[in-house]
A and B are shown apart, each in its own frame.
Chain A
Amino acid sequence: MATYSTNEFKGGLKIMMDGDPYVIVDNEFVKPGKGQAFNRARVRNLKTGRVIERTFKSGDTVEAADVVDVDLQYLYNDGEHWHFMDPQSYEQLTADATAVGDAAKWLKEEAICQVTLWNGVPLSVSAPIFVIMTIVETDPGLRGDTSGGGGKPATLDTGAVVRVPLFVQSGEVIKVDTRTGEYVSRVKE
Protein backbone atom coordinates (compact mmCIF):
# COMPACT_ATOMS: atom_id res chain seq x y z
CA MET A 1 0.00 0.00 0.00
CA ALA A 2 1.47 3.32 -1.08
CA THR A 3 1.42 6.01 1.57
CA TYR A 4 2.27 9.68 1.90
CA SER A 5 3.80 11.34 4.92
CA THR A 6 2.25 14.62 6.03
CA ASN A 7 5.64 16.06 5.02
CA GLU A 8 4.62 15.49 1.40
CA PHE A 9 1.26 17.24 1.73
CA LYS A 10 0.53 19.90 -0.87
CA GLY A 11 -2.35 20.97 -3.06
CA GLY A 12 -3.25 18.30 -5.62
CA LEU A 13 -2.02 15.26 -3.66
CA LYS A 14 -4.55 12.38 -3.79
CA ILE A 15 -5.17 10.47 -0.57
CA MET A 16 -7.60 7.87 0.78
CA MET A 17 -9.78 8.60 3.80
CA ASP A 18 -12.73 6.57 5.09
CA GLY A 19 -12.67 4.50 1.89
CA ASP A 20 -13.06 7.49 -0.44
CA PRO A 21 -10.47 9.22 -2.64
CA TYR A 22 -9.72 12.84 -1.74
CA VAL A 23 -7.53 15.56 -3.19
CA ILE A 24 -5.74 18.02 -0.93
CA VAL A 25 -6.93 21.57 -1.66
CA ASP A 26 -4.53 23.29 0.72
CA ASN A 27 -2.49 22.39 3.73
CA GLU A 28 -1.32 24.43 6.70
CA PHE A 29 1.44 23.45 9.08
CA VAL A 30 0.57 24.59 12.60
CA LYS A 31 2.76 24.11 15.64
CA PRO A 32 2.95 25.68 19.05
CA GLY A 33 6.61 26.53 19.72
CA LYS A 34 6.82 23.90 22.45
CA GLY A 35 4.15 21.46 21.37
CA GLN A 36 2.59 19.00 18.99
CA ALA A 37 2.74 19.91 15.29
CA PHE A 38 -0.31 19.38 13.09
CA ASN A 39 -1.08 19.46 9.39
CA ARG A 40 -4.42 21.13 8.94
CA ALA A 41 -5.64 20.23 5.46
CA ARG A 42 -8.69 21.12 3.41
CA VAL A 43 -9.56 18.14 1.23
CA ARG A 44 -12.09 17.58 -1.50
CA ASN A 45 -13.94 14.29 -1.84
CA LEU A 46 -13.38 13.26 -5.45
CA LYS A 47 -16.67 11.36 -5.54
CA THR A 48 -18.96 14.00 -4.07
CA GLY A 49 -16.96 17.20 -4.59
CA ARG A 50 -17.55 18.15 -0.96
CA VAL A 51 -14.70 20.02 0.75
CA ILE A 52 -13.98 19.25 4.41
CA GLU A 53 -11.20 20.00 6.86
CA ARG A 54 -9.01 17.24 8.25
CA THR A 55 -6.17 17.49 10.74
CA PHE A 56 -3.24 15.09 11.02
CA LYS A 57 -0.40 14.85 13.49
CA SER A 58 2.68 15.97 11.60
CA GLY A 59 4.86 13.04 10.62
CA ASP A 60 1.97 10.57 10.36
CA THR A 61 1.28 8.79 7.11
CA VAL A 62 -1.90 8.43 5.11
CA GLU A 63 -2.81 5.97 2.36
CA ALA A 64 -2.26 7.23 -1.19
CA ALA A 65 -5.22 7.16 -3.58
CA ASP A 66 -4.59 5.57 -6.99
CA VAL A 67 -6.06 8.54 -8.83
CA VAL A 68 -4.71 9.78 -12.17
CA ASP A 69 -5.91 12.22 -14.79
CA VAL A 70 -5.78 10.94 -18.38
CA ASP A 71 -6.84 12.37 -21.72
CA LEU A 72 -9.39 10.08 -23.35
CA GLN A 73 -11.39 10.33 -26.53
CA TYR A 74 -15.17 10.23 -26.11
CA LEU A 75 -16.70 7.60 -28.40
CA TYR A 76 -20.43 7.26 -27.83
CA ASN A 77 -23.24 6.90 -25.33
CA ASP A 78 -25.23 3.65 -25.33
CA GLY A 79 -28.17 5.13 -23.44
CA GLU A 80 -26.75 4.19 -20.06
CA HIS A 81 -22.98 4.48 -20.20
CA TRP A 82 -20.45 6.77 -21.85
CA HIS A 83 -17.64 5.02 -23.69
CA PHE A 84 -14.14 6.48 -23.94
CA MET A 85 -10.93 5.31 -25.59
CA ASP A 86 -7.29 5.86 -24.76
CA PRO A 87 -5.94 7.28 -28.05
CA GLN A 88 -2.53 5.70 -27.40
CA SER A 89 -3.41 2.18 -26.30
CA TYR A 90 -6.91 2.01 -27.87
CA GLU A 91 -8.09 0.63 -24.53
CA GLN A 92 -11.77 1.39 -23.97
CA LEU A 93 -13.23 2.58 -20.67
CA THR A 94 -16.83 3.04 -19.57
CA ALA A 95 -18.11 5.85 -17.36
CA ASP A 96 -21.46 5.98 -15.60
CA ALA A 97 -23.77 8.98 -15.18
CA THR A 98 -22.32 9.84 -11.76
CA ALA A 99 -18.82 10.12 -13.21
CA VAL A 100 -19.88 12.08 -16.29
CA GLY A 101 -22.20 14.40 -14.38
CA ASP A 102 -22.68 17.86 -15.89
CA ALA A 103 -20.06 17.20 -18.55
CA ALA A 104 -22.63 15.03 -20.40
CA LYS A 105 -24.24 17.93 -22.19
CA TRP A 106 -20.90 19.09 -23.64
CA LEU A 107 -19.67 15.72 -24.88
CA LYS A 108 -19.38 15.39 -28.63
CA GLU A 109 -18.11 12.27 -30.26
CA GLU A 110 -14.33 12.18 -30.81
CA ALA A 111 -13.73 15.05 -28.34
CA ILE A 112 -10.69 14.63 -26.11
CA CYS A 113 -11.70 14.89 -22.44
CA GLN A 114 -9.78 14.80 -19.19
CA VAL A 115 -10.97 11.76 -17.26
CA THR A 116 -10.00 11.13 -13.64
CA LEU A 117 -9.44 7.42 -12.98
CA TRP A 118 -9.61 5.85 -9.52
CA ASN A 119 -8.14 2.36 -9.45
CA GLY A 120 -8.43 2.42 -13.24
CA VAL A 121 -12.16 3.26 -13.28
CA PRO A 122 -13.49 6.68 -14.43
CA LEU A 123 -14.37 8.74 -11.38
CA SER A 124 -15.12 12.04 -13.08
CA VAL A 125 -15.09 13.51 -16.57
CA SER A 126 -14.23 17.09 -17.50
CA ALA A 127 -15.50 18.39 -20.80
CA PRO A 128 -13.00 20.33 -22.96
CA ILE A 129 -12.99 23.99 -21.86
CA PHE A 130 -14.13 25.17 -25.29
CA VAL A 131 -16.44 23.11 -27.49
CA ILE A 132 -17.70 23.72 -31.01
CA MET A 133 -21.43 23.02 -31.33
CA THR A 134 -24.13 23.33 -33.95
CA ILE A 135 -27.37 25.14 -33.16
CA VAL A 136 -30.31 22.85 -33.93
CA GLU A 137 -33.03 25.16 -32.76
CA THR A 138 -33.44 28.84 -31.87
CA ASP A 139 -36.14 31.42 -32.48
CA PRO A 140 -35.58 33.08 -35.84
CA GLY A 141 -35.52 36.80 -36.43
CA LEU A 142 -36.55 38.69 -33.35
CA ARG A 143 -34.59 41.55 -34.84
CA GLY A 144 -35.55 44.79 -33.18
CA ASP A 145 -36.52 43.05 -29.99
CA THR A 146 -34.76 45.22 -27.47
CA SER A 147 -36.63 44.04 -24.41
CA GLY A 148 -34.19 41.34 -23.35
CA GLY A 149 -30.83 42.57 -24.46
CA GLY A 150 -29.40 39.28 -23.19
CA GLY A 151 -29.98 37.27 -26.34
CA LYS A 152 -32.15 34.22 -26.73
CA PRO A 153 -31.97 30.52 -25.87
CA ALA A 154 -30.52 28.13 -28.43
CA THR A 155 -30.58 24.33 -28.32
CA LEU A 156 -27.35 22.67 -29.43
CA ASP A 157 -26.76 19.32 -31.10
CA THR A 158 -25.98 17.67 -27.75
CA GLY A 159 -29.20 18.96 -26.22
CA ALA A 160 -27.47 21.68 -24.21
CA VAL A 161 -29.19 25.05 -24.14
CA VAL A 162 -27.13 28.26 -24.14
CA ARG A 163 -27.99 31.94 -24.56
CA VAL A 164 -26.82 33.34 -27.88
CA PRO A 165 -26.99 36.85 -29.40
CA LEU A 166 -30.10 37.64 -31.42
CA PHE A 167 -28.27 37.57 -34.75
CA VAL A 168 -27.23 33.91 -34.42
CA GLN A 169 -29.46 31.51 -36.30
CA SER A 170 -30.32 27.81 -36.43
CA GLY A 171 -27.76 25.73 -38.29
CA GLU A 172 -24.88 28.01 -37.32
CA VAL A 173 -21.78 26.65 -35.55
CA ILE A 174 -20.71 28.35 -32.31
CA LYS A 175 -17.97 28.13 -29.70
CA VAL A 176 -19.06 27.68 -26.05
CA ASP A 177 -17.10 27.98 -22.79
CA THR A 178 -18.10 24.87 -20.82
CA ARG A 179 -16.90 26.33 -17.51
CA THR A 180 -19.60 28.98 -17.58
CA GLY A 181 -21.92 27.54 -20.23
CA GLU A 182 -21.65 30.81 -22.16
CA TYR A 183 -21.57 31.55 -25.87
CA VAL A 184 -18.15 32.77 -27.01
CA SER A 185 -18.37 33.36 -30.76
CA ARG A 186 -19.60 32.12 -34.10
CA VAL A 187 -17.32 29.70 -35.91
CA LYS A 188 -16.85 29.82 -39.67
CA GLU A 189 -16.68 26.35 -41.05
Chain B
Amino acid sequence: MDANSLAWRPSGDGATLRLRAELLARIRGFFAQREVLEVETPALSAAAIPDPHLASFAVHYTGPGPRHGQTLYLHTSPEFPMKRLLAAGSGCIYQIARVFRDGEAGRRHNPEFTLLEWYRVGFDHHRLMSEVAELVAELLAGRLSLAEPERLSYREMFQRHLGLDPHRATVAELAAVAKTQNVSIPPGMPVDNLDPWLDLLLTHCIEPDLGIEPELGQGRLTFVYDYPVSQAALARVRPGDPPVGERFELYLHGVELANGFHELGDAGEQQRRFAAENAARRAAGWPEMPIDDHLLEALDAGLPECAGVALGFDRLVMLAAGKTALAEALAFSFERA
Protein backbone atom coordinates (compact mmCIF):
# COMPACT_ATOMS: atom_id res chain seq x y z
CA MET B 1 0.00 0.00 0.00
CA ASP B 2 1.32 3.40 -0.95
CA ALA B 3 -0.08 6.09 1.34
CA ASN B 4 0.74 8.80 -1.19
CA SER B 5 -0.88 7.03 -4.12
CA LEU B 6 -3.75 8.83 -5.83
CA ALA B 7 -4.67 5.78 -7.90
CA TRP B 8 -7.51 4.88 -5.54
CA ARG B 9 -9.32 8.04 -6.60
CA PRO B 10 -11.86 8.16 -9.47
CA SER B 11 -10.52 8.89 -12.96
CA GLY B 12 -13.61 11.00 -13.77
CA ASP B 13 -14.45 14.14 -11.82
CA GLY B 14 -17.65 14.62 -9.83
CA ALA B 15 -19.37 16.85 -12.36
CA THR B 16 -18.77 14.33 -15.17
CA LEU B 17 -20.06 11.44 -13.06
CA ARG B 18 -23.21 13.42 -12.25
CA LEU B 19 -23.61 14.15 -15.98
CA ARG B 20 -23.27 10.41 -16.64
CA ALA B 21 -26.15 9.67 -14.31
CA GLU B 22 -28.23 12.46 -15.81
CA LEU B 23 -27.69 11.20 -19.37
CA LEU B 24 -28.63 7.65 -18.37
CA ALA B 25 -31.90 8.96 -16.91
CA ARG B 26 -32.61 11.01 -20.04
CA ILE B 27 -31.95 8.00 -22.30
CA ARG B 28 -34.50 6.01 -20.30
CA GLY B 29 -36.95 8.91 -20.61
CA PHE B 30 -36.39 9.14 -24.37
CA PHE B 31 -37.23 5.48 -24.92
CA ALA B 32 -40.08 5.38 -22.40
CA GLN B 33 -41.75 8.19 -24.32
CA ARG B 34 -41.37 6.22 -27.56
CA GLU B 35 -42.57 2.99 -25.96
CA VAL B 36 -39.33 1.14 -26.57
CA LEU B 37 -38.93 -1.58 -23.93
CA GLU B 38 -35.83 -1.74 -21.73
CA VAL B 39 -34.41 -5.27 -21.54
CA GLU B 40 -31.47 -7.03 -19.93
CA THR B 41 -29.75 -10.05 -21.45
CA PRO B 42 -26.92 -12.31 -20.22
CA ALA B 43 -23.34 -11.02 -20.28
CA LEU B 44 -22.02 -14.58 -20.17
CA SER B 45 -22.59 -17.03 -23.01
CA ALA B 46 -21.27 -20.37 -24.20
CA ALA B 47 -21.10 -18.81 -27.69
CA ALA B 48 -19.15 -15.79 -28.87
CA ILE B 49 -18.91 -13.55 -31.88
CA PRO B 50 -16.31 -14.89 -34.37
CA ASP B 51 -15.59 -11.46 -35.94
CA PRO B 52 -11.75 -11.45 -36.16
CA HIS B 53 -11.68 -7.78 -35.12
CA LEU B 54 -13.37 -8.50 -31.80
CA ALA B 55 -11.70 -10.44 -28.98
CA SER B 56 -13.99 -11.90 -26.32
CA PHE B 57 -12.80 -12.46 -22.76
CA ALA B 58 -13.02 -16.16 -21.91
CA VAL B 59 -13.88 -17.08 -18.32
CA HIS B 60 -14.10 -20.42 -16.59
CA TYR B 61 -17.34 -21.68 -15.09
CA THR B 62 -16.78 -24.49 -12.60
CA GLY B 63 -20.36 -25.71 -12.19
CA PRO B 64 -22.72 -27.06 -11.06
CA GLY B 65 -23.53 -28.58 -14.42
CA PRO B 66 -20.73 -29.76 -16.62
CA ARG B 67 -18.38 -32.16 -14.80
CA HIS B 68 -15.18 -30.34 -15.81
CA GLY B 69 -16.68 -26.92 -15.92
CA GLN B 70 -17.05 -24.91 -19.09
CA THR B 71 -15.54 -21.96 -20.93
CA LEU B 72 -17.92 -19.03 -21.16
CA TYR B 73 -17.45 -15.75 -22.99
CA LEU B 74 -18.26 -12.22 -21.87
CA HIS B 75 -20.35 -10.52 -24.54
CA THR B 76 -18.80 -7.81 -26.73
CA SER B 77 -22.32 -6.48 -27.39
CA PRO B 78 -25.81 -7.74 -26.45
CA GLU B 79 -26.74 -8.12 -30.12
CA PHE B 80 -27.42 -11.86 -30.33
CA PRO B 81 -29.79 -12.29 -27.36
CA MET B 82 -31.57 -9.05 -28.29
CA LYS B 83 -32.23 -10.45 -31.77
CA ARG B 84 -33.59 -13.59 -30.13
CA LEU B 85 -36.02 -11.39 -28.18
CA LEU B 86 -37.04 -9.66 -31.41
CA ALA B 87 -37.63 -13.01 -33.10
CA ALA B 88 -39.75 -14.01 -30.10
CA GLY B 89 -41.96 -10.98 -30.67
CA SER B 90 -40.64 -8.45 -28.16
CA GLY B 91 -41.20 -5.46 -30.42
CA CYS B 92 -38.84 -2.49 -30.20
CA ILE B 93 -36.26 -2.89 -27.41
CA TYR B 94 -33.23 -1.15 -25.93
CA GLN B 95 -30.54 -2.10 -23.46
CA ILE B 96 -27.87 -0.25 -21.53
CA ALA B 97 -25.24 -2.97 -21.26
CA ARG B 98 -21.77 -3.24 -19.83
CA VAL B 99 -19.75 -5.06 -22.52
CA PHE B 100 -16.20 -6.41 -22.63
CA ARG B 101 -13.58 -6.39 -25.38
CA ASP B 102 -10.14 -7.85 -24.90
CA GLY B 103 -7.18 -6.13 -26.51
CA GLU B 104 -8.74 -2.65 -26.59
CA ALA B 105 -7.24 -0.03 -24.30
CA GLY B 106 -6.21 3.53 -25.07
CA ARG B 107 -7.35 7.10 -24.97
CA ARG B 108 -10.67 6.21 -26.61
CA HIS B 109 -10.90 2.57 -25.56
CA ASN B 110 -11.49 0.77 -22.26
CA PRO B 111 -11.68 -3.04 -22.14
CA GLU B 112 -15.11 -2.79 -20.47
CA PHE B 113 -17.52 -0.09 -21.45
CA THR B 114 -21.19 0.78 -21.64
CA LEU B 115 -23.14 0.28 -24.86
CA LEU B 116 -26.57 1.69 -25.49
CA GLU B 117 -28.04 -0.72 -28.01
CA TRP B 118 -31.50 -0.52 -29.52
CA TYR B 119 -33.61 -2.15 -32.21
CA ARG B 120 -36.50 -0.64 -34.12
CA VAL B 121 -38.94 -2.97 -35.83
CA GLY B 122 -39.93 -1.75 -39.29
CA PHE B 123 -37.05 0.75 -39.55
CA ASP B 124 -34.29 0.66 -42.14
CA HIS B 125 -30.84 2.09 -41.42
CA HIS B 126 -31.74 5.56 -42.74
CA ARG B 127 -34.78 5.91 -40.50
CA LEU B 128 -32.73 4.71 -37.54
CA MET B 129 -30.02 7.29 -38.31
CA SER B 130 -32.68 9.97 -37.89
CA GLU B 131 -33.63 8.62 -34.49
CA VAL B 132 -29.97 8.39 -33.42
CA ALA B 133 -29.56 12.06 -34.40
CA GLU B 134 -32.65 13.02 -32.36
CA LEU B 135 -31.44 11.18 -29.27
CA VAL B 136 -27.88 12.52 -29.45
CA ALA B 137 -29.13 16.08 -30.09
CA GLU B 138 -31.39 15.80 -27.05
CA LEU B 139 -28.57 14.48 -24.85
CA LEU B 140 -26.08 17.12 -25.96
CA ALA B 141 -28.53 20.03 -25.91
CA GLY B 142 -27.06 22.99 -24.05
CA ARG B 143 -23.63 21.36 -23.92
CA LEU B 144 -22.35 21.19 -27.51
CA SER B 145 -23.58 23.46 -30.20
CA LEU B 146 -23.99 21.31 -33.28
CA ALA B 147 -24.51 22.12 -36.94
CA GLU B 148 -27.14 20.16 -38.90
CA PRO B 149 -26.26 16.46 -39.10
CA GLU B 150 -24.82 15.27 -42.39
CA ARG B 151 -24.98 11.90 -44.09
CA LEU B 152 -22.50 10.63 -46.59
CA SER B 153 -21.90 7.22 -48.03
CA TYR B 154 -18.65 5.39 -47.38
CA ARG B 155 -17.80 6.05 -51.01
CA GLU B 156 -18.55 9.80 -50.73
CA MET B 157 -16.45 10.00 -47.57
CA PHE B 158 -13.38 8.61 -49.35
CA GLN B 159 -14.05 10.68 -52.45
CA ARG B 160 -14.42 13.88 -50.45
CA HIS B 161 -11.39 13.41 -48.20
CA LEU B 162 -8.98 11.49 -50.42
CA GLY B 163 -10.41 11.64 -53.93
CA LEU B 164 -10.64 7.89 -54.35
CA ASP B 165 -13.42 5.36 -54.84
CA PRO B 166 -13.10 2.72 -52.08
CA HIS B 167 -15.18 0.23 -54.04
CA ARG B 168 -12.93 0.36 -57.13
CA ALA B 169 -9.46 1.11 -55.73
CA THR B 170 -6.68 -1.48 -55.68
CA VAL B 171 -4.20 -2.12 -52.87
CA ALA B 172 -1.51 -0.38 -54.94
CA GLU B 173 -3.68 2.72 -55.33
CA LEU B 174 -4.53 2.84 -51.62
CA ALA B 175 -0.85 2.44 -50.74
CA ALA B 176 0.03 5.29 -53.11
CA VAL B 177 -2.55 7.57 -51.47
CA ALA B 178 -1.22 6.64 -48.02
CA LYS B 179 2.24 7.63 -49.22
CA THR B 180 1.17 11.01 -50.62
CA GLN B 181 -0.74 11.67 -47.38
CA ASN B 182 2.46 10.99 -45.41
CA VAL B 183 0.87 8.09 -43.57
CA SER B 184 3.42 5.76 -42.03
CA ILE B 185 2.65 2.39 -43.62
CA PRO B 186 2.85 -0.40 -41.02
CA PRO B 187 5.08 -3.37 -41.78
CA GLY B 188 3.25 -6.49 -42.92
CA MET B 189 0.22 -4.89 -44.58
CA PRO B 190 -1.53 -7.49 -46.75
CA VAL B 191 -1.28 -7.32 -50.54
CA ASP B 192 -4.54 -9.19 -51.15
CA ASN B 193 -6.95 -7.51 -48.71
CA LEU B 194 -8.26 -3.97 -49.17
CA ASP B 195 -9.89 -3.56 -45.76
CA PRO B 196 -6.79 -2.97 -43.61
CA TRP B 197 -5.69 -0.31 -46.14
CA LEU B 198 -9.10 1.37 -46.03
CA ASP B 199 -8.97 1.23 -42.22
CA LEU B 200 -5.48 2.76 -42.26
CA LEU B 201 -6.65 5.70 -44.38
CA LEU B 202 -9.86 6.02 -42.38
CA THR B 203 -8.10 6.18 -39.01
CA HIS B 204 -5.13 8.31 -40.11
CA CYS B 205 -6.58 10.72 -42.68
CA ILE B 206 -10.36 10.83 -42.46
CA GLU B 207 -11.46 10.21 -38.86
CA PRO B 208 -9.43 13.09 -37.44
CA ASP B 209 -11.55 15.42 -39.63
CA LEU B 210 -14.95 13.77 -39.37
CA GLY B 211 -17.63 15.72 -37.58
CA ILE B 212 -15.50 18.84 -37.45
CA GLU B 213 -16.74 21.83 -39.38
CA PRO B 214 -13.58 23.83 -40.05
CA GLU B 215 -15.29 27.15 -40.87
CA LEU B 216 -17.22 27.24 -37.64
CA GLY B 217 -14.95 25.24 -35.40
CA GLN B 218 -18.08 23.48 -34.28
CA GLY B 219 -19.02 19.88 -34.49
CA ARG B 220 -21.76 18.12 -36.32
CA LEU B 221 -23.02 14.58 -36.38
CA THR B 222 -21.65 12.83 -39.44
CA PHE B 223 -23.31 9.58 -40.48
CA VAL B 224 -21.40 7.33 -42.85
CA TYR B 225 -23.45 4.58 -44.52
CA ASP B 226 -23.37 1.80 -47.12
CA TYR B 227 -20.09 0.02 -46.44
CA PRO B 228 -18.14 -2.36 -48.67
CA VAL B 229 -19.62 -5.85 -48.50
CA SER B 230 -16.42 -7.09 -46.85
CA GLN B 231 -17.22 -4.76 -43.93
CA ALA B 232 -20.94 -5.50 -43.74
CA ALA B 233 -20.52 -7.36 -40.42
CA LEU B 234 -24.13 -8.13 -39.36
CA ALA B 235 -25.82 -5.87 -41.90
CA ARG B 236 -27.88 -7.02 -44.85
CA VAL B 237 -26.33 -6.54 -48.29
CA ARG B 238 -28.18 -4.46 -50.88
CA PRO B 239 -27.53 -5.73 -54.40
CA GLY B 240 -26.22 -3.17 -56.88
CA ASP B 241 -23.05 -2.03 -58.57
CA PRO B 242 -21.25 -2.36 -56.29
CA PRO B 243 -23.39 -4.17 -53.72
CA VAL B 244 -23.10 -2.52 -50.29
CA GLY B 245 -23.62 -3.48 -46.66
CA GLU B 246 -26.51 -1.50 -45.17
CA ARG B 247 -24.44 -0.46 -42.20
CA PHE B 248 -23.80 2.99 -40.74
CA GLU B 249 -21.44 4.67 -38.35
CA LEU B 250 -21.86 7.92 -36.46
CA TYR B 251 -18.93 10.29 -35.88
CA LEU B 252 -18.72 13.46 -33.80
CA HIS B 253 -15.53 15.49 -33.35
CA GLY B 254 -13.60 12.67 -35.01
CA VAL B 255 -14.88 10.14 -32.45
CA GLU B 256 -16.68 7.00 -33.63
CA LEU B 257 -19.86 7.04 -31.53
CA ALA B 258 -22.21 4.43 -32.95
CA ASN B 259 -22.50 1.54 -35.37
CA GLY B 260 -25.80 0.42 -36.84
CA PHE B 261 -27.22 -2.13 -39.24
CA HIS B 262 -30.26 -2.75 -41.34
CA GLU B 263 -30.25 -6.15 -39.72
CA LEU B 264 -29.46 -9.33 -41.59
CA GLY B 265 -32.31 -11.78 -41.05
CA ASP B 266 -31.15 -14.60 -43.31
CA ALA B 267 -30.01 -17.53 -41.14
CA GLY B 268 -28.13 -19.23 -43.98
CA GLU B 269 -26.23 -16.08 -44.89
CA GLN B 270 -25.46 -15.40 -41.22
CA GLN B 271 -24.11 -18.94 -40.84
CA ARG B 272 -21.87 -18.49 -43.93
CA ARG B 273 -20.48 -15.21 -42.52
CA PHE B 274 -19.74 -16.81 -39.15
CA ALA B 275 -17.96 -19.69 -40.93
CA ALA B 276 -15.90 -17.25 -43.04
CA GLU B 277 -14.94 -15.30 -39.91
CA ASN B 278 -13.85 -18.44 -38.12
CA ALA B 279 -11.86 -19.42 -41.23
CA ALA B 280 -10.11 -16.02 -41.08
CA ARG B 281 -9.33 -16.67 -37.40
CA ARG B 282 -7.92 -20.10 -38.26
CA ALA B 283 -5.75 -18.58 -41.01
CA ALA B 284 -4.40 -15.97 -38.60
CA GLY B 285 -3.66 -18.61 -35.97
CA TRP B 286 -6.28 -17.29 -33.56
CA PRO B 287 -8.80 -19.42 -31.66
CA GLU B 288 -12.12 -20.06 -33.37
CA MET B 289 -15.24 -19.05 -31.48
CA PRO B 290 -18.23 -21.29 -30.78
CA ILE B 291 -21.09 -20.16 -33.02
CA ASP B 292 -24.33 -19.00 -31.40
CA ASP B 293 -26.77 -21.64 -32.63
CA HIS B 294 -29.60 -19.99 -30.69
CA LEU B 295 -29.18 -16.88 -32.83
CA LEU B 296 -29.25 -18.92 -36.04
CA GLU B 297 -32.37 -20.76 -34.85
CA ALA B 298 -34.02 -17.44 -33.99
CA LEU B 299 -33.20 -16.00 -37.44
CA ASP B 300 -34.57 -19.19 -38.94
CA ALA B 301 -37.78 -18.75 -36.94
CA GLY B 302 -38.01 -15.23 -38.34
CA LEU B 303 -36.45 -11.92 -37.34
CA PRO B 304 -38.85 -9.05 -37.99
CA GLU B 305 -37.62 -6.44 -40.44
CA CYS B 306 -35.61 -4.13 -38.24
CA ALA B 307 -32.61 -1.87 -37.82
CA GLY B 308 -30.38 -1.78 -34.76
CA VAL B 309 -27.60 0.41 -33.44
CA ALA B 310 -25.00 0.33 -30.66
CA LEU B 311 -23.82 3.64 -29.24
CA GLY B 312 -20.73 4.03 -27.06
CA PHE B 313 -22.22 5.70 -24.00
CA ASP B 314 -18.88 6.52 -22.33
CA ARG B 315 -17.65 8.29 -25.46
CA LEU B 316 -20.86 10.30 -25.57
CA VAL B 317 -20.36 11.34 -21.93
CA MET B 318 -16.75 12.24 -22.74
CA LEU B 319 -17.84 14.55 -25.58
CA ALA B 320 -20.77 16.00 -23.63
CA ALA B 321 -18.43 16.87 -20.76
CA GLY B 322 -15.87 18.40 -23.12
CA LYS B 323 -13.26 15.80 -22.17
CA THR B 324 -10.74 14.20 -24.52
CA ALA B 325 -9.99 10.89 -22.80
CA LEU B 326 -12.44 8.10 -22.06
CA ALA B 327 -10.95 7.66 -18.57
CA GLU B 328 -12.35 11.07 -17.67
CA ALA B 329 -15.88 9.82 -18.38
CA LEU B 330 -15.52 6.71 -16.18
CA ALA B 331 -15.63 6.40 -12.41
CA PHE B 332 -12.58 4.18 -12.62
CA SER B 333 -10.70 3.53 -15.85
CA PHE B 334 -9.10 0.15 -16.56
CA GLU B 335 -5.75 1.23 -15.04
CA ARG B 336 -7.49 1.96 -11.74
CA ALA B 337 -9.99 -0.90 -11.80
Contacts and interface: CB of A to CB of B under 8 A. Distances in A.
Given A35-B202, A36-B199, A60-B187, 16 more contacts: A29-B106, A29-B107, A30-B203, A31-B203, A34-B51, A35-B53, A35-B195, A37-B53, A37-B104, A38-B186, A40-B203, A40-B204, A52-B184, A55-B184, A55-B204, A60-B188
B251 to A, nearest CB: 11
20 contacts: A29-B104, A29-B105, A31-B53, A31-B203, A32-B249, A34-B51, A35-B53, A35-B195, A35-B196, A35-B198, A35-B202, A37-B53, A40-B184, A52-B184, A53-B184, A54-B184, A55-B183, A55-B185, A56-B186, A58-B103
A58 B284 CA distance: 13
A72 to B, nearest CB: 31
Given A29-B105, A30-B106, A35 B231 contact: yes
Interface string A37-75: 110100000000000111111111000000000000000
A57 B189 contact: yes
Interface residues of B, number: 30
B289 to A, nearest CB: 16
Contacts of B256: 32-33
Contacts of A33: 249, 256, 259
A26 to B, nearest CB: 10
B188 A57 contact: yes
Interface string A17-29: 0000000000011
Nearest to B183: A55
B233 interface: yes
Nearest to B182: A53
Interface string B181-212: 00111111100000110111011100100000
Nearest to B208: A30
B52 to A, nearest CB: 10
Contacts of B108: 29-30
Interface string A82-119: 00000000000000000000000000000000000000
Contacts of B273: none
B109 interface: yes
Interface string B45-70: 00000010100000000000000000
Contacts of B189: 57
B239 to A, nearest CB: 21
Interface of B: 51, 53, 103-109, 183-189, 195-196, 198-200, 202-204, 207, 231, 233, 249, 256, 259
A34 B200 contact: no
B204 A57 contact: no
Contacts of A40: 184, 203-204
B186 A57 contact: yes
A37 B103 contact: yes
Nearest to A52: B184
A34 B233 contact: yes
Contacts of A28: 106-107
Given A56-B187, A60-B186, A36 B106 contact: no
Contacts of A54: 184
B106 A55 contact: no
A31 B104 contact: yes
B9 to A, nearest CB: 22
B39 to A, nearest CB: 22
A162 B256 CA distance: 52
Contacts of B259: 33-34
A32 to B, nearest CB: 5
Interface string A137-150: 00000000000000
A160 B105 CA distance: 48
B106 A32 contact: no
A55 B107 CA distance: 16
Nearest to A57: B186
Given A37-B104, A55-B185, A56-B187, A31 B196 contact: no
Given A38-B186, A57-B186, A32 B196 contact: no
A60 B200 CA distance: 15
A34 B109 CA distance: 13
A104 B184 CA distance: 35
B305 to A, nearest CB: 22
A36 B195 contact: yes
Contacts of B204: 30, 38, 40, 55
Contact of A55 (B53, B103, B186): B186
Contacts of B183: 55
Contacts of B187: 56-57, 60
A29 B105 CA distance: 7
A35 B199 contact: yes
Nearest to B202: A32
